[in-house]
Structure 1
């Protein structure tokens, strides 16, 4: 399933970001002007290998908990799914649980459950992932099971028809038949982006989901679900040498697919604000959503944008919450972030948005809220932030990182390692993230805000409640 914020908050760094190891109020109760103690350097043990068939293998031993987290990430997400087959990447995620060469339908899930483990999968912009957290003494079993479905998925018309209905029902439940369904995580990319690959309906048009044929599924599997388009991450209570032996034994025999030709997913520089109105017949209150294109990933400005997100959007001490919620009382909360709500700052590979939303009372106009947002942004573009505020943002960033890396289920850790291997060919980058955070200066924050938070780089959606929903809310 596509995992998103209001319904199935992703466990891949996105959820831990909201549950910091140290609550924000407690972490920053001290004098903000005081110098913080030197941050402990993150060091995650990382072994990185590549098999002859192109499979990337990342191993991170950690013997603190007798479990293993196994993740298999395929370099295909909904951003690059075939045209006229919207929702196909998500449909195929479901197909991967329908049985393989040696495990029948639902037997993979049953095998995890019988061993007291947990599992899940999701479809994102640039990957589809599958993971399980299992007792470490079953590591070999689940490496075999993952290899079994990579090698020989059971693709039948009956399974396809069944999952087409499951996906269509998921769309109806999660988007079409609930208030604010798809708002704004589906709506904003379609408005803000110009390139079809970044701007189509990622959940998929119901007619196009129906149109998928067995031949489509077979071709999709052969092209994208191959070892040379995948990363295997094994983190936990394991012996790396033993894991590599199993990886070669079970995955090494799977043939590589022809090299994938990637489409152009670049976006032109936005030069004029985009704004539309959407009527939601089920929404009881109006809402406002906005998005800005972020700097290219990995640049100094991108690192600064991560801290801008923390200062403006994240936590009770953020500027948006202080002004829009606490001072003005426009709504109960502000939500948003980079790659929100499907992922985090790191697990994507292409153009991305920094987006936000607020459900607000009917007696305040969207223009009034936007004026307040513009005032907050203008201050950031004009004045240098204080060293204390910058240090607070950096502390937040480090706290998020520590929380993910130190989480007992290691799912967030696996997600970072897989993303860095898949997109950067460098899972060891995880140990440089603190340095990237530390290099950001007040001058860089201001420069980044001036270029990327300009009104001409913004897209806005005014959501209006349907008449019946509004009348019911009034009653």
Structure 2
């Protein structure tokens, strides 16, 4: 259970405080309600580019990392299709340093053309290294637009193409900043050895005078129901043939999300899962295989992926995967198998809440979705799932008409 208190500044900044006096540390997490799904189709990769730019100096602080390191702090950030998240951990006695740093870059970046140029080069190099020059690196550049035809999840967080990053102008950057990097489009969570009055005073002091901007109302094109199977074949110099199958599933905070997630675990979580046991261990078709879900706020994907053994054809492997999925659709699930994945899910949940920073992040993520209490309902929702619920989700999701399949052939 994550206990918290909540208040909102006059400029719209939502603040959550989670007190934990068993530690001498504090975590400061600020989530901006912008991800790659909010980008324009001809200007993708901006949310991720901004993650880099936010460390390039702000109005009164030319170097972000140096003052934080002097007080024993650490920081990082990540971008997803749904959010951009920045976080700091530091000794709680130095809490105000985190407020000073985060408020200054919310107030205004330096907008130094040299910083933009440097970070563009960094992101372009990341694009090349991680997505273009690495075996299987371009999978999501191909699989997303296969699975999504309309929703902006159809491009990867890094962007659709390098030119979108290379051609970004300072005016483009300023427009993006002043649309999304606003106190009324952010959630601040402060956790650890802190008090509510202390956080209120610091929030008012450092964030209270930052002006709000126009309220961002998200109005994204929704993905239509997939009614026919999709297929793509590609090839590259990779070690082994690989199979990818993507199925649309409910969004992260929808009612059936946890059921679909457990169904995914039954198929592909760990060495006791069905796909591993039957297709890798018994039939030796795959060198590795797993299943996972994208856990996105809007309807996401369950992805089954595996690298084939050298003497196995993609057609044979695909047919074998379909057999395993059909068993789950047609045959009643044993209580013992469901209990196992429930216990795994609850264990993961419990371990995630050991870390102070994870608690802060989880609280911010749920609050951004509209209900911070969601973080405290998860175990209850997981335990309430019955075997027939899982089979129902298997029947709804694991249909060929809901599937996008990609064959990734290894060039000789």
TM-score tier, shorter chain, comes to over 0.9
Report the CA distance shift for 1:86/1:300 in structure 2 as closer, same or farther (over 3 A): closer
Instruction: After superposition, give the CA deviation of every residue in 1:203-250 in whole Å (9 maximum; x if it has no partner).
Output: 221112121111111111001000111111111111122112111211
8 Å contact from structure 2 (residues 71, 90) kept in 1? yes
Q: Who is 1:331 aligned against?
A: 286
CA distance in 2, matches of 1:243, 1:271: 51
RMSD over aligned CA atoms reads 1.5
1:72 to 5, 13, 30: 30
Consecutive unaligned residues of structure 2, counting only runs of 5 or more, are none
Does residue 150 of structure 2 align to residue 195 of structure 1? yes
Instruction: After superposition, give the CA deviation of every residue in 1:299-335 in whole Å (9 maximum; x if it has no partner).
Output: 4422210111221111111111111221122233223
**Number of aligned pairs?**
411
Q: Secondary structure at the match of 2:2?
A: coil
8 Å contact from structure 1 (residues 265, 351) kept in 2? no
1:404 to 349, 352, 374: 352
Instruction: After superposition, give the CA deviation of every residue in 1:103-139 in whole Å (9 maximum; x if it has no partner).
Output: 10xx221223233332111110111111111111111
Q: How far did residue 170 of structure 1 move? A: 0.8
Does residue 98 of structure 2 align to residue 153 of structure 1? no
Q: Who is 2:368 aligned against?
A: 422
CA distance in 1, matches of 2:253, 2:43: 31
1:278 to 234, 255, 262: 234
Instruction: After superposition, give the CA deviation of every residue in 1:64-107 in whole Å (9 maximum; x if it has no partner).
Output: 22111111110110111122111111111111001012210xx2
Consecutive unaligned residues of structure 1, counting only runs of 5 or more, are 1-42, 340-344, 468-475
Q: Who is 1:451 aligned against?
A: 396
CA distance in 1, matches of 2:138, 2:313: 22
Q: How far did residue 297 of structure 1 move? A: 4.0
Q: Secondary structure at the match of 1:334?
A: strand
1:314 to 269, 272, 290: 269
Structure 1 range deviating more: 111-120 or 440-449: 111-120
Q: Secondary structure at the match of 1:198?
A: helix
Does residue 55 of structure 2 align to residue 97 of structure 1? yes
Mapping of residues 209-224 of structure 1, within 5 Å: 209-224=165-180
Q: Who is 1:10 aligned against?
A: none
Q: Who is 1:208 aligned against?
A: 164
TM-score (norm 2): 0.96
CA distance in 2, matches of 1:286, 1:116: 47
Q: Who is 1:35 aligned against?
A: none
8 Å contact from structure 1 (residues 73, 418) kept in 2? yes
Q: Who is 2:259 aligned against?
A: 304
CA distance in 2, matches of 1:419, 1:210: 31
8 Å contact from structure 1 (residues 300, 440) kept in 2? no
Report the CA distance shift for 1:298/1:208 in structure 2 as closer, same or farther (over 3 A): closer
Q: Secondary structure at the match of 1:333?
A: strand
CA distance in 2, matches of 1:270, 1:260: 29
CA distance in 2, matches of 1:45, 1:261: 29
CA distance in 2, matches of 1:96, 1:193: 30
8 Å contact from structure 2 (residues 32, 181) kept in 1? yes
Q: Who is 1:371 aligned against?
A: 319
Q: Who is 1:22 aligned against?
A: none
Q: Who is 2:301 aligned against?
A: 353
Does residue 5 of structure 2 align to residue 57 of structure 1? no
Moved over 4 A (4+): none
Q: Who is 2:86 aligned against?
A: 130
CA distance in 2, matches of 1:220, 1:295: 29
Does residue 410 of structure 2 align to residue 462 of structure 1? no
Report the CA distance shift for 1:352/1:168 in structure 2 as closer, same or farther (over 3 A): same
Q: Secondary structure at the match of 1:406?
A: coil
8 Å contact from structure 2 (residues 247, 302) kept in 1? yes
Q: Who is 1:167 aligned against?
A: 123
8 Å contact from structure 1 (residues 117, 133) kept in 2? yes
8 Å contact from structure 2 (residues 226, 401) kept in 1? yes
Q: Who is 1:433 aligned against?
A: 378
CA distance in 1, matches of 2:388, 2:46: 44
Instruction: After superposition, give the CA deviation of every residue in 1:262-316 in whole Å (9 maximum; x if it has no partner).
Output: 23241111111111111123x1211111110002443442221011122111111
Q: Who is 1:295 aligned against?
A: 250
